[in-house]
Amino acid sequence: MSRANNAIFPLLVAAALGVGACGGAGKTTVAVPGTASKTAPPAPPSTSAADSLGPRPEPKPPVPFVPPAPQVLEGPGNSKVWLLERHALPLVTIALVVPYGSAAEPADKGGLAFASADMLDEGAGDRDALAFSKAINDLGAKLSSAADRDSSIVSLEVLVSKLDQALPLLADAVVRPRHANKDWTRVRTLWQNALKNRAHEPNEVARVVTSAVYYGAQHPYAHPPDGTLTSAKKVQLGDISKWHKTIWRPDAATFVVVGDVKPDAIGASLKKAFAAWKVPAAAQPPVVTPGPASESNLRTFVVDRADAPQVVMSFARSGPPASDAVFPRLNMLNLALGGSFTSRLNQNLREDHGWTYGVRSRFNSQRGAGMFVVRAALRADATAPALRETKKEIDKMRAEGLAAPEIDKVRALLNGEALETYGTLHGVAGSLASNAALGLPPDQDAKDLASQRSATPKDLATLASSYLDVSSVTLVLVGPKETAIKALADSGLPKPELVDAEGRSVAH
């Protein structure tokens, strides 16, 4: 249910999971964390007569969960505060978000928003980078920052007893960053090294290249939010400072606060800590809402990874913006198609054929024109049949929509996912921050579930026929060149263009 599918949610989750030096029972070395081992053989025969275990219990339908809406308060400098109180633990998570991300960057400075977020904790106010890091760590707090296509975010997680000491640090990071040359030199080098590492990670390469070739060079969503090797070299410290001043303004910002605090107290604490944060004289920059990618025919691209044991398949077609009324219901189609373990694609490619450890699809949640993406790392020799089966499954859903039991399953899954999201502070904060960034209302999560619960089979069939046409997708294969080209030819697909790990054309 959560729309937080961009950088924001993983950031908050990663921060929350960053148990670091913590001892205790939860840290036994895990060989295969979070990886279920669920590949299955042909079905064994069915039941016998007397059974001590008794019949399988039929679960009672759960009470439909309605996500609570946050209170909306006035924050410092015309900012908004979305507050959801949670008093079970003495913790608070604050996510401060503005609706400016990589889509709003100058065309030749890809990664500016990302690098700017990276510089947020590199010294601020009276503290240099080391002193700032020390001050945060002294409190046992966690401060993290990120940028995705549509937004920039900085988040603070802290014991509530340390909140009043931590808030001025958050405020300094936003209002008085130092942006020292020495720190930028280091951050830039680490960033460029990370981009070199990215080129070795096939799933990352597939992500970067798919957006690049699907949207096409000049589109604001084409370049990766973390930039490219070329664009990273062009970003200068002056650009960072200018960008920071432009986007971090209170009248564009939302504080999402979740945890053990009361409205009056948190309102006063924020106003005190952010007293120096004023609305600048310059007009608020426009929020960028990119239009759709230009129409195109079926196109194929190959990124060569010689000797790789797998071929990563990734393809894209258009999807609606996150604010479109159909968006939550498209998520229902997606859960049934490739968004869950028992989805049709995962059952086919993984469980029936063993071609992949998992296939996933999704409608990207974006302020502007969206994208429907399917991705899987395939056994190299199974690329052609996997492409065929993927197309077959999608065409089938497009033609027939969802059957009633599948709709029930999807509704149950959405209910379960909502409970999981609202079961942790970082889950709630991630979801609300994403809604705020995309210009959606505070109670969007409840609205989504209501829309999903009222969808009829006919509604979903209509959507499937409009949004699951994959006859003219942009398809990317990352793997050994010869294998990939042969798989495309065997599947009757067009001859590919060879591109590098960032989607630039390379000579044949």
Partner 1 sequence: MTTSAAALELPFEQSKLPNGLTVIVHEDHLLPQVATNLIYRVGSKDEQAGRTGFAHLFEHLMFMGTRRAPTKAFDQWMESAGGSNNAWTSSDFTDYHEAGPSTLLPLFLWLEADRLETLGREIDRPKLDLQRDVFFYKGRATTENRPYGKVELRLPELMYADAHPYHHPVIGSHADLEAASVKDVRSFFEQHYVPGNAALVIAGDVRAGEAKELAQRYFGFIPSPPPERAPKSTSPLPATKLDKVVRETIEDQVEMTKVIMTFHSPAHFEPGDAELDILAAVLSSGKTSRLYKSLVYEKALAQSVEAAQESSILSSIFNIEIMLRPGVSPEAVEKVTDALLTDVITKPPSDEELARAKNQIAFDFVDRLQSIAARARLLNMYWAEKGDPGYVVKDMARYDQATAQGVLAQAQKTITLNSRVILRVVAAGGRGAPAEGKRGGAR
Using CB under 8 A, which residues numbered 47 to 86 contact partner 1? 47-48, 51-54, 56-57, 59-63, 65, 86
Question: Counting contacts by CB under 8 A, is residue 276 touching partner 1?
Answer: no
Name which of 24 and 286 has its Cβ closer to partner 1.
24
Q: Which residues, numbered 86-125, are part of the site for partner 1 (CB under 8 A)?
A: 86, 88-91
Report CA-CA distances (Å) from 368 to 74, 150, 320, 438, 449.
27, 8, 8, 9, 22
Q: Which residues, numbered 182-241, are part of the site for partner 1 (CB under 8 A)?
A: 186, 189-190, 193-194, 196-197, 199-202
In the DSSP assignment, the letter for residue 262 is -
Question: Counting contacts by CB under 8 A, is residue 165 touching partner 1?
Answer: no
| Interface pattern 18-47 for partner 1 (x via CB under 8 A) | -xxxxxxxxxxxxxxxxxxxxxxxxxxxxx
The region of 134-142, 285-293, 440-448, 485-493 touching partner 1 under the rule CB under 8 A is: 134-142
| Cα distance from N-terminal residue to C-terminal residue, the chain | 43
Q: Give the H or E element holding residue 471.
A: none
Q: Which residues, numbered 290-309, are part of the site for partner 1 (CB under 8 A)?
A: 308-309
Name which of 192 and 289 has its Cβ closer to partner 1.
192
Question: Counting contacts by CB under 8 A, is residue 342 touching partner 1?
Answer: yes
Q: Which SS3 state, helix, strand or coil, does residue 475 take?
A: strand
Q: What is the total count of residues that contact partner 1 (CB under 8 A)?
A: 104
Determine the distance from the C-alpha atom of residue 431 to the mean position of all C-alpha atoms in its chain, rounded to a whole number.
Answer: 10
Name which of 161 and 456 has its Cβ closer to partner 1.
161
By CB under 8 A, name the one of 153, 170, 397, 413 that touches partner 1: 413
Q: Which residues, numbered 255-274, are part of the site for partner 1 (CB under 8 A)?
A: none
Question: What is the b/e burial string over 360-375, where b = at least 16 CB atoms within 10 angstroms of the residue's CB?
Answer: bbbbbbbbbbbbbbbb
Q: How many C-beta atoms lie closer than 10 Å to residue 462's C-beta?
A: 14
CB of 278 to partner 1, least distance (A): 30
Residue 346: which residues within 8 A CB-CB, separation 6 or more?
A: 338, 340, 358, 359, 360
The region of 76-84, 105-113, 128-136, 275-283 touching partner 1 under the rule CB under 8 A is: 128-136
DSSP string covering 141-188, please?
-EEEEEE-SS-EEEEEEEEGGGHHHHHHHHHHHHHSB---HHHHHHHH
| Interface pattern 145-164 for partner 1 (x via CB under 8 A) | ------------xxx-xx--
